[in-house]
Amino acid sequence: MTRPFSALDSNIDQALLNSLRPEARNAPTSGIIDIVNYAREKEGLVPLWVGEGSLPTPDFICEAAHQSLKAGETFYTWQRGLPELRQAIADYHQALYGRTFDSEHFIVTGSGMQAIQIAVRLVAGAGDEIVIPTPAWPNMAAATGLTGARFVEVPQYFSHDGWKLSIDDLLAACTDKTKAIFLNSPCNPTGWTASLDDLQQVLDFARARGLWIIADEIYTRFFYEERQGGNGELGPTAPSFYEICKEDDRILFVNSFSKNWAMTGWRIGWISAPTALGDVLENLVQYSTSGVAAFMQRAAIAALKEGEPFVAEQVERARAGRKTVLDALAKVPGAKFAPPSGAFYLFWGLEKHEDGGALAREIVDQANVGLAPGFAFGQSGTPFMRLCFATNPENLALAATRLQGWMAQR
């Protein structure tokens, strides 16, 4: 008799799993998704656990997608991305950094995540290492593990005036197996942001050792400190490798439409690389998604060309959200946190508590606020929790009141 699909037989299931590549079988479940699954349906919960705001994608972006579909753009399209979109991305970079960019540097991908996956696969495989400062968004390490390469964590450390990373530690972690340094600045989840000096040190080292840098600067617009120079006409950005690198430096920039333009559900991003890599990148796109749907690319063009007022609104919302949560936690006795320089998360804990995962569960159960457990971001994140402050002000104020009430009764 055939076995019904629903029947569970642990021996058969185990045999099926055992026949898979260990790298795939052992890919870790995201600790963020774990807690979301635990409490997704909880009534009245304020969800601050994932990295997105509450504003839907603006109409003018949706409308561009709609028009494209109505015009019949439903066929296979350019693997590297529509030429108009690649040019719009180049123009956007020019406006951000005040230097000219050739559109040949930019390849459209089916999300920032896919850009990361491609970047990692370009440079590392079994036996290689990628060095990653942690706490870090977990997908970078997981993407590294899937290729068979090993990721090497370099811990950032908490201090009351901000999270810190020792660049000496970072460089010292590179061995002769290291193929790349993965630097996410501003950092999800800590908000740590590299100074231009930090970036220069990493770049000098990478040049001297022939290493690649995978630069994830997707939160560059969400930067809360004053800074002089380095910026183009679009206003303040976090310090960037684009301010110091040459065109043929071994840097793979991964980027996304998700955060700036409230397009997390669309799944579109880009990678930028030395132009010599164009054909190779095109092949990796071809053998994964074979390109991003044309209607999404039309939407992305609209986002870049008309989206600046919306980006400014998003940044202001995050700035206000940051103030709300910093003010609220200042009133919570024992709260351990530092103002983040960039991105839109507060990575915080409680003095004398080493288990942020248990705290996050307790907060879900007792305060009805959803936070991501710090262990999801690497070992050094274990005592902390991540709170996303990009959401609407009413929800943030409610979460702040609930957290204060929960702590008062604890």
Position among 129, 198, 216, 243 found at the interface with ligand PLP (CB under 6 A): 216
Which residue among 264, 275, 288, 324 contacts ligand PLP (CB under 6 A)?
A: 264
- Which of 101, 137, 344, 377 touches ligand PLP (CB under 6 A)? 137
Query: Residues 241, 251: contact at Cβ < 8 Å?
Result: yes
Q: Which of positions 51-80 make contact with ligand PLP (CB under 6 A)? A: 51
What is the closest distance, in whole angstroms, from the C-beta atom of residue 137 to ligand PLP in the complex? 4
Token pair recorded at residue 254: 């991964």
Angstrom distance (rounded) from CA 387 to CA 348: 8
- Output the CA torsion 216→220→223→228 (10° steps): 110
CA distances from 186 to 127, 216, 237, 240, 407 (A): 29, 8, 10, 10, 29
Residue 188 touches ligand PLP, criterion: CB under 6 A? yes
Q: Based on CB atoms, which residue is closest to ligand PLP, 178 or 188?
A: 188
Give the x/- contact pattern for ligand PLP in 17-56, rule: CB under 6 A.
----------------------------------x-----
| β-pairing verdict for 106-109 and 269-272 | antiparallel
Which region among 57-65, 110-118, 297-305, 401-409 touches ligand PLP (by CB under 6 A)? 110-118
Distance linking the first and last C-alpha atoms of the chain: 57
- One-letter identity of residue 143: A
Scanning the structure block, which residue is given the tokens 């968004």? 137
Q: Does 195 bind ligand PLP (CB under 6 A)?
A: no
Should residue 113 be labelled a site residue for ligand PLP when binding is judged by CB under 6 A?
yes
Residues for the chain: how many in total? Answer: 410
Candidates 34-42, 106-114, 143-151, 222-230 — which segment interacts with ligand PLP by CB under 6 A?
A: 106-114
218 binds ligand PLP (CB under 6 A): yes
Q: Shortest distance, CB of residue 265 to ligand PLP, whole angstroms?
A: 9
Q: Which is nearer to ligand PLP, 187 or 332 (CB)?
A: 187
Q: What angle do CA 70, 72, 74 make, to 5 degrees?
A: 115
CA 376 from centre of chain? 14
Asked whether the beta carbons of 332 and 407 are under 8 A apart, the reply is yes
**Restricting to residues 220-249, which ones interact with ligand PLP according to CB under 6 A?**
none
Provide the 3-class DSSP secondary structure of residue 244. Answer: coil
Neighbouring CB atoms inside 10 A of 176's CB total: 6
**Sign of the dihedral through C-alpha 135, 136, 141, 142:** positive
Q: Does 129 bind ligand PLP (CB under 6 A)?
A: no
Contacts of 366 (CB under 8 A, 6+ apart): 406, 409
> Quick one: CA dihedral 267, 345, 181, 260, positive or negative?
positive
- Residue 256 makes contact with ligand PLP by CB under 6 A: yes
State yes or no: residue 381 binds ligand PLP (CB under 6 A). Answer: no
The residue at minimum Cβ distance from ligand PLP is 112
Would you count residue 194 as binding ligand PLP (CB under 6 A)?
no
Stretch that binds ligand PLP, among 1-9, 24-32, 105-113, 382-390 (CB under 6 A): 105-113
Q: How many residues of this chain bind ligand PLP (CB under 6 A)?
A: 13
Stretch that binds ligand PLP, among 61-69, 108-116, 304-312, 352-360 (CB under 6 A): 108-116
- Can you give the binding site for ligand PLP, defined by CB under 6 A? 51, 111-113, 137, 184, 188, 216, 218, 256, 258, 264, 269
